[in-house]
Amino acid sequence: MKKRAIILFFSCCSILASCQNNSNKPVNQKPAGMETDKVVKTEEEWKKILTPEQYEIIRKKGTEAPFSGKYDATFEKGTYTCAACDFELFKSDMKFDSRCGWPSFDNEIAGDRVKKVKDFTHGMVRTEILCARCGGHLGHIFDDGPTATGNRYCVNSVSIHFIPDTTKTK
């Protein structure tokens, strides 16, 4: 029994050490077909085009209070874009009510629109999601979604902009 406990201890230490060594390594490196579309600005330029709240969340990786965002309870048909660079990220049919207090999506628009990076802040291991075009902080992705994908992209309303679908169906 003592031997088993020692093996388990060293296995856990090994796993934790490997996680620490890769803490800043992106999960997916380069979004396909976007090398020339990148939006690069200085922090001063971002401060001029974003509101103070957007700057705090999108550039400084902040989080809005739960149930405070304008898109948490929005379920109209349309597209959600990055609030910083207008890159299309999510469609309304990907959105669901997770009751977590933030807009939640089960998938992203095809084409590596969202960059995923390991996040070890606040004593947790999570996967941060960023706009693949401008690098703006969107929120985090979790594997507890209720749909077939199992994903829950938990997004700050401040980080996205909603464009309603204006096409009329007969």
Q: Which domain holds residue 78?
A: 28-164
- Please report the pLDDT score of residue 33 as a whole number: 45
Number of domains in the chain: 1
pLDDT, tens only, 50-88: 999 999 999 999 999 999 999 999 999 999 999 999 999
19 belongs to a structural domain: no
Q: Is residue 21 part of a domain?
A: no
- Does residue 36 or residue 102 have the better pLDDT? 102
Beta bridge partners of 9: none
Cα 137 from Cα 106, distance rounded (Å): 18
- Kindly report the average pLDDT of the chain as a whole number: 84
pLDDT band at 37 (very low <50, low <70, confident <90, very high): confident
Q: What is the reported pLDDT for 170?
A: 54
In the block, which residue shows the tokens 């979604």? 145
The answer as to whether 16 is a domain residue is no
Question: What is the pLDDT confidence band of residue 12, given thresholds at 50, 70 and 90?
Answer: very low
Q: Of 24-28, 88-92, 122-126, which one has max mean pLDDT? A: 88-92
Residue 135 pLDDT exceeds 50: yes
Q: Is residue 3 part of a domain?
A: no
| Residues 141 and 153 sit within 8 Å (Cβ to Cβ) | yes
**To the nearest whole percent, how much of the chain has pLDDT over 70?**
77
Told to judge if 154 belongs to the known catalytic residues of this protein, a careful annotator would answer yes
Residue 98 pLDDT greater than 70, yes or no: yes
Residue 10 lies in a domain: no
Distance CA 169, CA 68 (A): 32
Q: Mean pLDDT, to the nearest integer, of 96-124?
A: 94
> Does 35 have pLDDT greater than 70?
no
Q: Is residue 7 included in any domain, yes or no?
A: no
130 near 114, Cβ under 8 Å? yes
Question: Is 37 inside any structural domain?
Answer: yes
CATH of residue 114? 2.170.150.20
Residue 17 counted as domain residue: no
pLDDT at 104: 97
> Model-level pTM?
0.77
